[in-house]
Amino acid sequence: MTKRITYFDFLRGVAVLMVVGIHTFPQSTFGSISGNMEIVIRQMINCAVPLFLAISGFFLGQKQFDVNSDRIVFWKKQIPAIYIPCFIWSLPLFLFALINQEQNLITNVVRLFLCGFSVYYFVILIIQLYIFLPYLKRRNISHMLIISLVISLVSAVLTTYLLAIKNYPIPLTVYAGPFPLLCFYFILGMYLGQKDRNYSLVWPVFFCIIGLLLEYLETKFLIGFHGVGYGNKISFLPYSAAVIVLLFSKRLELWYERKSRCLQIFQKIGGISYGIYLIHCYVIIFISHVIPVELSWGVKWLCVIVITSIGILIVKKMMPLVSVKYLGFR
């Protein structure tokens, strides 16, 4: 069990690196070789949030809810553990919004309590999945996988049309916070947790390549409308699903066990991934204001990871109890 958790910590580390990469992306164009390469890399890391959801589904799907009280105990433990730190890190953004009169007071209060600031939509999303989990456990997982695929695919088509083609200004929390758009990946993780994962890598690799190609072509098509289309879109779903199936393979897990010493840095980052997620946007803002020159994407990406990781480790050392319960630095 320890080795298994170690591998999934490695995957969390990879996922949070991709999250930071997405949020430091410089909006490249197709007009140059370097721009095309950046766009390809951007499409490769689009699977970050689906990967996090699949990891959660993989482990939580194995949890047993034998009696009704088990649900209550689970919710009381899991929901505050992620909600309280998110609420605390949202407070400076809430105050900033009030001072600068961004929207009205009621709207900002709603944003505060529903994790509507920064990129914290993931927290309200995972809370919904925590609530649904005991009920999902009672259903046939294969049926739920198909149903969730249809729900997420329809949601992807609608959001792509509204955001990229019609250019409606829908906030991130509104389209990504509710469960329909991303629920498929959580249930895919649950499904893989109940199945034999010792499958061939040929087909997952093939579909990863096809999915990446589709993402690139769809991005090129979509940004021609209003310059939007780097992230969420229809091809995002098959590519992300293929990457999850590939990374969850038992063969890759066994390969990691042989190479884990070389890859421990990713495992360490995975152990503090929630803290990195919560504060990395503050660090991005800090770097943008402190460093007078424009950094390349790779340099900025690395700087954010290094600063957030060191900061979290220092705070954990100084205030271990506070950092875990209130700041999300596990």
Over residues 136-152, mean pLDDT: 96
pLDDT at 139 over 90: yes
Output the pLDDT for position 145: 97
Q: How far apart are CA 271 and CA 12, in angstroms?
A: 8
Confidence bin at 132 (pLDDT 50/70/90)? very high
Most distant pair of Cα atoms in the chain: their distance: 59
The DSSP symbol for 160 reads: I
Residue type, 8: F
Helix (H) or strand (E) holding 51: helix 48-60
Residue-range domain boundaries for the chain = 2-325
The contacts of residue 264 (CB under 8 Å, 6+ apart) are none
Cβ(205)–Cβ(153) below 8 Å: no
Phi, psi (5° rounding) for residue 10? -60, -45
Burial label, 20 (beta-carbon count in 10 A; 0-12, 13-18, 19+): buried
Question: Which residue, chain included where needed, has tokens 């649900």?
Answer: 71
Output the pLDDT for position 266: 93
Q: How far apart are CA 116 and CA 127, in angstroms?
A: 14
Digit-coded pLDDT (tens) for 224-262: 898 888 989 999 999 999 999 999 999 999 999 888 777
The contacts of residue 152 (CB under 8 Å, 6+ apart) are 180, 181, 182, 183, 184, 185, 237
Query: What stretches of 168-272 show up as alpha helix (H) in DSSP?
Result: 172-176, 183-193, 202-226, 236-247, 250-259, 264-271
pLDDT at 78 over 80: yes
pLDDT at 12 over 60: yes
Paired tokens of 53: 């959801």
Positive/negative CA dihedral, 64, 68, 71, 74: negative
pLDDT at 2 over 60: no
Rg of the chain over Cα atoms, rounded to whole angstroms, equals: 20
CA proximity to 248, closest of 208, 218, 305: 208
Residue type, 186: F
pLDDT at 199 over 60: yes
Confidence bin at 161 (pLDDT 50/70/90)? very high
Output the pLDDT for position 4: 54
Paired tokens of 34: 């370097």
Paired tokens of 124: 């309200």
pLDDT at 30 over 80: no
Cβ(102)–Cβ(127) below 8 Å: no
The DSSP symbol for 103 reads: S
| More confident site: 84 or 289 | 84
Cβ(189)–Cβ(182) below 8 Å: no
Q: How far apart are CA 151 and CA 145, in angstroms?
A: 10
pLDDT at 223 over 80: yes
| More confident site: 32 or 177 | 177
CA proximity to 23, closest of 54, 44, 45, 40: 45
The least confident of 30-34, 77-81, 308-312 is: 30-34
Q: How far apart are CA 242 and CA 230, in angstroms?
A: 19
